[in-house]
Amino acid sequence: MLATERESLRHEIAEMAEKYEHKRDGMMPILEAIQEKYRCVSDFAMQEVARQLGVFPTEVYGVVSFYSFLSTEPRGKFAIRLCRTLSCDFAGKKEVARQLENELGVKFGGTTPDGLFSLEYCNCLGMCDHGPAMLVNNDVYTEVSPELVSEILEKYRRMFGPASQLEEAEAHHG
Amino acid sequence: MASVIHIMERYEAGSGLKKALELSRTEVIRQIRESGIRGRGGAGFPTAVKWNLCAAAQSPKKFLVCNADEGEPGTFKDRLLLTERPEALLDGITLGGYAIGAKLGVIYLRAEYAYMKPGLEAALAARREAKLLGKKVLGKDFEFDIEIRMGAGAYVCGEETALIESLEGSRGEPRNRPPYPVNTGLVGAPTSVNNVETLIACAHIMAKGPEWFRKHGTDVSTGSKLLSVSGDCAKPGVYEVAFGTTVSDILKLVGGEGAKAVQVGGASGRTVPAKQFGRKLGFEDLATGGSVIVIGPQRDMLDVAENFLDFFVEESCGQCTPCREGNPKLLEGVLLLKRGKCSVGYLRELQNLGRTMQVASKCGLGQSSANAFLDITEHFRSEILGRVPATKE
Ligand SMILES: Cc1cc2nc3c(=O)[nH]c(=O)nc-3n(C[C@H](O)[C@H](O)[C@H](O)COP(=O)(O)O)c2cc1C
Ligand code: SF4
Ligand code: FES
């Protein structure tokens, strides 16, 4: 991470901590905001949050590692979560899972080399009457079929023109 | 034959809250007690008792927390309520806050429902504008506001003390109880945690009176229950039925006749085999937060057990041994059964382990995670023993 990026992250965390009066109960909203913007909570971010809230960095790590929507490693720009729970399983999640892997070229738990998509399972999304259900960031998709998978992915690829894709890939690897 | 009822459908925004604020706090709680309502989140604790304990606790600070963590597999009725009945919910939170003497209500919304947040924020803003929230709610001497806090993907955070830990910025690890949240809850202050459906029902009760509510359901389980029906049936969806409805009535309603089992209460609930479809929904028999998963004749019951145990292995917070170590053992047992490599003696040991987990685990997750395994290994013995696995390709 560049020094200027660190500086701006430090500044953002300080501002959020101020809003929550540097109290510990500000932890979750702060971590969630960092995750949303940076797709992970880095070591540096955890140290800064700890400093601002007056707790040990290990405690922040304890929280980040507990929740499945927080991560220390960067997720894709678009985090795909496919429901693996019973009703969606009945509705055909296995076929959808296979096609997702085919289209993305990565297995569950992986991230595409361009950093655009990460793929993982999640538990019941509360859409069991319209399974198989899937989240892409905060967007919900229901009754997903293998045929629909490429269409959905294409939509997100298009939101990201070739030029910006390149930038993203660099940011991800650099 | 059971039918769908619609007692919780029509609700005039503000009506329950207006009625409540005309009454004393004690009178509000008395009417809630009169209705007989018990918590809709699964545990079935009488709401009036909870509110009364919280109201009686001496503290300058109190909180009413709405549990919108809806994570039980197969449950989605709160999703519908949060998106289609926000007014009744916000009324319920506000009048509950009034009853216990809180100034702040908190909605703990699961991360998976982040897409609902803008709509709820807009509803809150409109209510501040309409003086249904603020320094003087409806011009009365009652100050109240509501905040939304997001979860971050952890089923166990639906457990009320884990939820409080999460709100305080910690890992969502359930606490020992007592002390109960009604005495020592969020940041040490008396806190009432209530399910979305419970709070909406309370708004209806205040608007229409406890008698109206008691007309439906049974003596022990008053009122209606929203069911989230999914799985192998023609018409999945949310259904409102009276308590006391039988499993077979529900199957007729949703086009699920011919099922070989029904999972009532989600992964932590009970697996009801066809010969027990006469059983009734209610706190006296099949208690449920509303999840009904229809399991068709084509399904393998060991797949069901495996899916649920995968879930619990992943979602156990790992704090106590019976749950942390027990769930992987049961899962391993299911895989042995699938490969046809489990003796009846070993199965009996696993069943004993399951029963130990039920009594020795610290919170509801570990206390109920063996339920489906125990039910399936008891009721479907002929299906699960002596399997000859298909040869691997
Ligand atoms: C593992 C676990 C998960 C739970 N998840 C939820 C949930 O998602 N929503 C809910 O309302 N209650 C849930 N509960 C029950 C809560 O602990 C609590 O009893 C409930 O929120 C109280 O509200 P009620 O009295 O209105 O039902 C869960 C309990 C356990 C043990
Ligand atoms: S029963 Fe399971 S989820 Fe509950 S406290 Fe123990 S380990 Fe955690
Ligand atoms: S089982 Fe997939 S959304 Fe509930």
Q: What's the ipTM?
A: 0.94
Beta bridge partners of B217: B222
Euclidean distance between CA atoms B129 and B98, whole angstroms: 19
* Chain A partners within 8 Å of B155 (Cβ): 123
Q: Is B230 on the interface with A (CB under 8 A)?
A: yes
- Extract the runs of DSSP E, i.e. beta strands, from B69-132: 104-109
Q: Which tokens belong to B355?
A: 């029963």
CA distance B167 to chain A (A): 6
The 10 Å Cβ neighbour count of residue B24 is 11
pLDDT at B67 (0 to 100): 98
Euclidean distance between CA atoms B367 and B359, whole angstroms: 6
Q: Is A166 on the interface with B (CB under 8 A)?
A: no
Q: Do A25 and B267 touch (CB under 8 A)?
A: no
Q: Do A128 and B228 touch (CB under 8 A)?
A: yes
* Pick among A87, A137, A139 to test the B interface (most B CBs inside 10 A): A87
**Nearest CB to B152: which of A62, A70, A86?**
A70
pTM beyond 0.90, yes or no: yes
Residue B323 · residue B162 · CB < 8 Å: no
A165, pLDDT greater than 90: no
- What would the DSSP string read from start to end of B350-374? HHHHHHHHHHH-SSHHHHHTTHHHH
Q: Give the model confidence (pLDDT) of A78-118 as tens digits.
A: 999 999 999 999 999 999 999 999 999 999 999 999 999 99
Euclidean distance between CA atoms B368 and B268, whole angstroms: 5
Q: What is the CATH number of domain A3-66?
A: 1.10.10
Name the CA dihedral angle for B196, B200, B206, B209, rounded to a multiple of 10 degrees: -120
CA distance A165 to chain B (A): 25
Nearest Cα residue in chain A from B299: A90
A174, pLDDT greater than 70: no
**Ligand 1 atom, smallest distance to B197 CA:** 26
* Chain A partners within 8 Å of B110 (Cβ): 126
* Chain A partners within 8 Å of B167 (Cβ): 25, 28
- Alpha carbon of B26 to ligand 2 centroid (Å): 36
pLDDT at B1 (0 to 100): 45
**Ligand 1 atom, smallest distance to B162 CA:** 17
pLDDT at B65 (0 to 100): 98
- Extract the runs of DSSP E, i.e. beta strands, from B4-130: 63-68, 104-109
**Mean pLDDT score, A35-64:** 97
Question: Cα A16 to the chain's mean position, in Å?
Answer: 20
Question: Which strand (E) or helix (H) includes residue A35?
Answer: helix A27-38
What is the topology classification, in CATH, of domain A78-167?
Glutaredoxin (3.40.30)
Atom 10 (ligand 1): residue with closest C-alpha?
A: B41
Euclidean distance between CA atoms A93 and B18, whole angstroms: 47
**Ligand 1 atom, smallest distance to B156 CA:** 1
Q: Is B264 on the interface with A (CB under 8 A)?
A: no
Q: Give the model confidence (pLDDT) of A127-156 as tens digits.
A: 999 999 999 999 999 999 999 999 999 999
Protein residues with CB under 6 Å of any ligand 1 atom: B 39-43, 45, 67, 69-72, 156, 158-160, 193-195, 198, 363-365
User: How much of chain A, in percent, has pLDDT values that exceed 90?
Assistant: 88
Q: Is B42 helix (H, G, I), strand (E, B) or coil?
A: coil
* Pick among B72, B76, B293 to test the A interface (most A CBs inside 10 A): B76
Cα Rg, chain A, nearest whole Å: 18
List for chain B the helix, strand, coil content (%; round to 5). Answer: 50, 15, 35
- What would the DSSP string read from start to end of A72-107? SSPPPSEEEEEE-SHHHHHHTHHHHHHHHHHHHS--
CA distance B367 to chain A (A): 20
Q: Is A84 on the interface with B (CB under 8 A)?
A: yes
Residue B8 neighbours by CB under 8 Å, 6+ apart: B88, B200, B201, B204, B224, B226, B240
* Pick from B254, B247, B251, B259: nearest CA to B286: B247
Q: Is A24 on the interface with B (CB under 8 A)?
A: yes
pLDDT at B167 (0 to 100): 98
Residue boundaries of the structural domains of chain A: 3-66, 78-167
Q: Do B154 and A27 touch (CB under 8 A)?
A: no
* Chain A partners within 8 Å of B75 (Cβ): 124, 126, 128
A1, pLDDT greater than 80: no
CA distance B306 to chain A (A): 10
**Angle (nearest 5°) at CA B198 between B217 and B271:** 65
pLDDT at A3 (0 to 100): 81
Q: How far apart are the first and last CA of chain B?
A: 49
**Nearest CB to B154: which of A27, A68, A89?**
A68
Residue A86 · residue A94 · CB < 8 Å: no
**Mean pLDDT score, A42-61:** 97
Give the mutation target among A82, A122, A127 for probing the ligand 3 site: most ligand atoms within 8 A of CB.
A127
Q: Is B153 on the interface with A (CB under 8 A)?
A: yes
Q: Do A86 and B304 touch (CB under 8 A)?
A: yes
Euclidean distance between CA atoms A135 and A40, whole angstroms: 17
Residue B35 · residue B222 · CB < 8 Å: yes
**Ligand 2 atom, smallest distance to B174 CA:** 5
Q: Is B315 helix (H, G, I), strand (E, B) or coil?
A: helix
Q: Is A26 on the interface with B (CB under 8 A)?
A: yes
Dihedral-angle region of residue B294 (phi above 0 means left; psi in -120 to 50 means alpha; beta otherwise): beta
Atom 8 (ligand 2): residue with closest C-alpha?
A: B317
pLDDT at A162 (0 to 100): 59
B141 backbone dihedrals φ, ψ, rounded to 5°: -80, 60
Euclidean distance between CA atoms B39 and A49, whole angstroms: 37
pLDDT tens track of chain B, all 393 residues?
A: 457 777 778 899 899 999 999 999 999 999 999 999 999 998 899 999 999 999 999 999 999 999 999 999 999 999 999 999 999 999 999 999 999 999 999 999 999 999 999 999 999 999 999 999 999 999 999 999 999 999 999 999 999 999 999 999 999 999 999 999 999 999 999 999 999 999 999 999 999 999 999 999 998 999 999 999 999 999 999 999 999 999 999 999 999 999 999 999 999 999 999 999 999 999 989 988 899 999 999 999 999 999 999 999 999 999 999 999 999 999 999 999 999 999 999 999 999 999 999 999 999 999 999 999 999 999 999 999 999 887 654
Q: Which residue carries 């919780």 as its tokens?
A: B8
**Nearest CB to B169: which of A63, A86, A129?**
A63
Domains, chain B, in order of start with CATH, read 15-214 (3.40.50.11540), 227-295 (3.10.20.600), 301-385 (1.20.1440.230)
Nearest Cα residue in chain A from B302: A86
Query: CB-side exposure of B265: number of CA atoms within 13 Å?
Result: 24
Angle of the B301-315 helix axis to the B321-338 helix axis, nearest 10 = 150
pLDDT at B391 (0 to 100): 65
Residue B302 · residue B334 · CB < 8 Å: yes
- Helix and strand numbers (H, E) in chain A are 8, 4
Euclidean distance between CA atoms B368 and B360, whole angstroms: 11
Q: Is B32 helix (H, G, I), strand (E, B) or coil?
A: helix
